[in-house]
Structure formats: structure tokens, C-alpha cells
């Protein structure tokens, strides 16, 4: 039993290390919701705090420059979607507080919440030395995530493709098992299951974000309530998009002799 407990502890510590950026942001959301003594708008402070922490990670080599580049790319991709989703015409969610650093209805700090997902995936990939039993043609993975990104916009006007996208992701990745090294031994799980578990974790973090009043959905305007479990589908697809972007710097390596 002792080896299992040691491995479980090591797994938890590595996961916590990979979540460093996301955990920092979530802690700031909660802290500033209950105690905020500064004169500048809260959202502006969160933006500055996120930039400073990103510089800290790079300066102390807790994050590589290549990881920072792909995280920035994900931030830009998410910003385009956020500006659209928070527009007056769409109003999928809103940021209820004032800000000066942002565009239209979108405070720029919010992009770092998406960057935290990219940061986690980039770091966990490196820390656990990911390998795969099978990985589909990279061209098809980019076709999939391009359709995912387009659907985040077009489903407001046309047919929602998400079920087709789920099926396509299953077709491409159902044979893929992810191998991850905790101490010396590689463990494995279906990659699709791993994505689902991460999506659930993000859903919990999103509930903390809305509880801290960082952003609100229309059904939360009269008081906080749990984010709909249906949002898991969106986080699953967005997480898949982030995963493929991270594969730009962390090339998938196949597990040999398996």
C-alpha cells in the first residue's frame, strides 16, 4: 500500500505544480471578491497581477518560452471568442464590473483564464512526459479544432455542430491512450477520458469564478447558482482545442513496445 500512496502523493504534487497559474488566478478571484482595497478597477488589477505572475514564471524558469508563446496564442484565440460572446447582440455571459483595460464588454484579464488552461496542458505534458499509443494525423486534428472554433461563433445563427464534433473527436482519438510517468513507471488511460476529467475540473473552477462574481451568466443575474452541467460540452471542446495548440510545441511521441 505504501508505494501506491507515495505514487498518489507524487501525482497530486505534479498536478498542483502544473496548475500553478490557474490556481493563482482562482485564488485571486476569491480574495479580491471579499477584500479589495485598491483604487483601480478590480479587473484591471487582475490583469496586472496575471502579467506579473507570467513574467515570474518565465524569470524563474517555471515555464519555458515556447510554452509562453503557445499560451499567448491561446489567449488571442480566446479573446476573439470572448469579444463575440460578450457583445450586446449575443450576451452569452457578462462582466458586471467596470474596467479600463479591455475592449467593448470584454476585460482583458479574462483571457488569462483561458491561458491558464493552455498553461496547465503545456506544463502537465512536460512534467508527466506524455506518450501515446496512437496519435491521429496532425492535419485532421487541426481540421477538427478549426471546426470547433468556428462552431463557437456559428451555432448562434446556424446548426450547432457540437454532436458532430464529439463524434469526429471520438473517431480520431478512440484508439489513443495517453501514457504518463508519475515516478519511474508509466500509467495510462484513454485520452478521451482524460479530456473529460480535465473538463470537469475546469467546470468546478468556473463555478468558483462565477461565485466570486468575476463573470455571470444570464441565469445568475438575480443570484448565484451552479453553472449548468451542459457547459461541460463547451469546456470539453475548448480543452481539445487547447490540447491541439499545445501539440505545436510538444510533439506527440508514440509509446514503443506496447
pLDDT tens string 194-233? 999 999 999 999 999 999 999 999 988 888 899 989 889 9
pLDDT tens string 8-48? 888 989 999 999 999 999 999 999 999 999 999 999 999 99
Asked if the model's pLDDT at residue 4 lies above 80, the reply is no
Asked if the model's pLDDT at residue 93 lies above 80, the reply is yes
The reported pTM is 0.90
The average confidence (pLDDT) of the chain is 91
Q: Work out the average pLDDT over 149-173.
A: 94
- Per-residue confidence (pLDDT) for residue 249, from 0 to 100: 83
Q: Of 245, 223, 196, 218, which Cα lies nearest the Cα of 85?
A: 218
- Per-residue confidence (pLDDT) for residue 257, from 0 to 100: 60
- Per-residue confidence (pLDDT) for residue 75, from 0 to 100: 87
- Range with lowest mean pLDDT among 66-70, 111-115, 230-234: 66-70
Q: What percent of the chain has pLDDT over 70?
A: 99
Asked if the model's pLDDT at residue 1 lies above 80, the reply is no
Amino acid at each position: 500500500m505504501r508505494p501506491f500512496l507515495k505514487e498518489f502523493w507524487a501525482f497530486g504534487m505534479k498536478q498542483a505544480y502544473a496548475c500553478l497559474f490557474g490556481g493563482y488566478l482562482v485564488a485571486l478571484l476569491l480574495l479580491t471578491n471579499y477584500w479589495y482595497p485598491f483604487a483601480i478597477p478590480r479587473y484591471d488589477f487582475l490583469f496586472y497581477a496575471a502579467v506579473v505572475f507570467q513574467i515570474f514564471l518565465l524569470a524563474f524558469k517555471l515555464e519555458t518560452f515556447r510554452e509562453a508563446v503557445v499560451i499567448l496564442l491561446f489567449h488571442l484565440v480566446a479573446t476573439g471568442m470572448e469579444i463575440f460572446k460578450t457583445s450586446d447582440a449575443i450576451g452569452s455571459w457578462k462582466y458586471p464590473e467596470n474596467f479600463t483595460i479591455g475592449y467593448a464588454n470584454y476585460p482583458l484579464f479574462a483571457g488569462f483564464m483561458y491561458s491558464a488552461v493552455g498553461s496547465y496542458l503545456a506544463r502537465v505534458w512536460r512534467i508527466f512526459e506524455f506518450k501515446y499509443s496512437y496519435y491521429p494525423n496532425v492535419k485532421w486534428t487541426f481540421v477538427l479544432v478549426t471546426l470547433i472554433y468556428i462552431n463557437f461563433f456559428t451555432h448562434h445563427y446556424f446548426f450547432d455542430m457540437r454532436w458532430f464534433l464529439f463524434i469526429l473527436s471520438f473517431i480520431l482519438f478512440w484508439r489513443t491512450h495517453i501514457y504518463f510517468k508519475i515516478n519511474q513507471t508509466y500509467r495510462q488511460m484513454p485520452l478521451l477520458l482524460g479530456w473529460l476529467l480535465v473538463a470537469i475540473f475546469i467546470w468546478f473552477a468556473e463555478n468558483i469564478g462565477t461565485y466570486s462574481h468575476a463573470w455571470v451568466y444570464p441565469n445568475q443575474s438575480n443570484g448565484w447558482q451552479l453553472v449548468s452541467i451542459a457547459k461541460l460540452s463547451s469546456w470539453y471542446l475548448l480543452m481539445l482545442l487547447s490540447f491541439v495548440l499545445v501539440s505545436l510545441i510538444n510533439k506527440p511521441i508514440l509509446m514503443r513496445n506496447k
